[in-house]
């Protein structure tokens, strides 16, 4: 399978992703409505109802199973990107299932239930661990960055920006910095352990655009910055 990401470099336009599937290959697309062009036999696409777990985790009913030989193009809305990852069967990373756009034949999934505290803060119930050899496509907002965990020196990452982290990682929801910094930042994961962490760099762009185009006046902006979690409660 070959995945060709076509990007014109314009942040205001969407991204096109061209798939070339060879004979005997198969890829499962979890957003079939984004397929805008297809070349191949009509039998090469079979839409199916997802199982109960898939429906719950993805909040969707149908996936498209694309069998080769065929070619098709999927379109993404502005601000979204796809990161293709090759798995060799040895990865222990945990992912948010909602970020999954496609996965190839041979990839299986296992769920990991989060603690009640983390469920409440992140509004996530489970994470997914992929097994097997093949490819997966992760849907992200902006560029995907990677950092390496240390067993004792913590890494702080915005909780909503994390895409994947090692199963062995120790996580704690927290804030950091001095009093003014910690009272108006969003929750961060404090992580230690071994292995890579993937996170998306575009999630903060909406807040940045709001702040730079803010027409609410200096008083409201002052309250957002000074009051604890003012950026959350004062819109």
Higher pLDDT, 219 or 20: 20
Mean pLDDT across the chain: 81
Please state the rounded mean pLDDT for residues 207-212. Answer: 53
pTM: 0.76
* Region at 193 (left for phi over 0; alpha for psi -120 to 50; beta for the rest): left
Higher pLDDT, 17 or 219: 17
Q: What is the pLDDT of residues 33-45, one digit of tens each?
A: 999 999 999 999 9
Tokens of 9: 């470099």
Higher pLDDT, 37 or 110: 37
Higher pLDDT, 24 or 183: 24
Q: Which residues of 149-180 are buried (b: 16+ CB within 10 A; e: fewer)?
A: beeeebbebbbbbbbbbbeebebeeeeeeeee
Q: What is the pLDDT of residues 148-159, one digit of tens each?
A: 999 999 999 998
Please state the rounded mean pLDDT for residues 97-102. Answer: 88
Residue 50: CA atoms inside 13 Å, Cβ hemisphere, count? 18
Q: What is the pLDDT of residue 78?
A: 84
| Portion of the chain with pLDDT greater than 90, in percent | 39
Q: What is the pLDDT of residue 232?
A: 47
70 in Cβ contact with 21 (< 8 Å): yes
Give 8-17 contacts, CB < 8 A, sequence gap 24+: 11/78, 11/79, 12/78, 13/78, 14/75, 14/76, 14/77, 14/78, 14/80, 15/75, 15/76, 15/80, 15/81, 15/82, 16/73, 16/74, 16/75, 16/76, 17/73, 17/74, 17/75, 17/76, 17/82, 17/137
103 by DSSP, 3-state: which? strand
Please state the rounded mean pLDDT for residues 168-183. Answer: 86
């Amino acid at each position: 399978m070959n995945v060709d990401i076509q990007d014109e470099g314009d942040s205001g336009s969407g991204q096109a992703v061209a798939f070339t599937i060879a004979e005997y290959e198969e890829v499962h697309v979890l957003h079939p409505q984004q397929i805008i062009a297809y070349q191949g036999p009509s039998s090469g696409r079979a839409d199916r109802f997802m199982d109960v777990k898939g429906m719950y985790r993805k909040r969707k009913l149908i996936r498209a199973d694309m069998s080769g030989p065929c070619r098709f193009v999927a379109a993404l809305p502005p601000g979204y990107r796809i990161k293709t990852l090759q798995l060799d069967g040895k990865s222990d990373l945990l992912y948010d299932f909602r970020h999954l756009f496609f996965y190839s034949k041979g990839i299986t999934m296992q769920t990991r239930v989060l603690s009640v505290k983390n469920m409440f803060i992140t509004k996530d119930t489970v994470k997914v661990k992929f097994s097997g050899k093949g490819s997966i496509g992760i849907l992200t907002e902006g560029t995907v960055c990677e950092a390496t965990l240390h067993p004792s020196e913590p890494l702080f990452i915005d909780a909503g920006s994390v895409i994947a982290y090692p199963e062995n990682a120790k996580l704690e929801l927290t804030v950091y910095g001095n009093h003014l910094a910690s009272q108006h930042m969003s929750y961060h994961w404090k992580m230690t352990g071994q292995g890579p962490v993937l996170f998306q760099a575009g999630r903060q762009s909406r807040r940045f655009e709001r702040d730079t185009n803010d027409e609410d006046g200096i008083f409201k902006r002052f309250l957002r910055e000074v009051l604890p979690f003012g950026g959350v409660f004062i819109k």
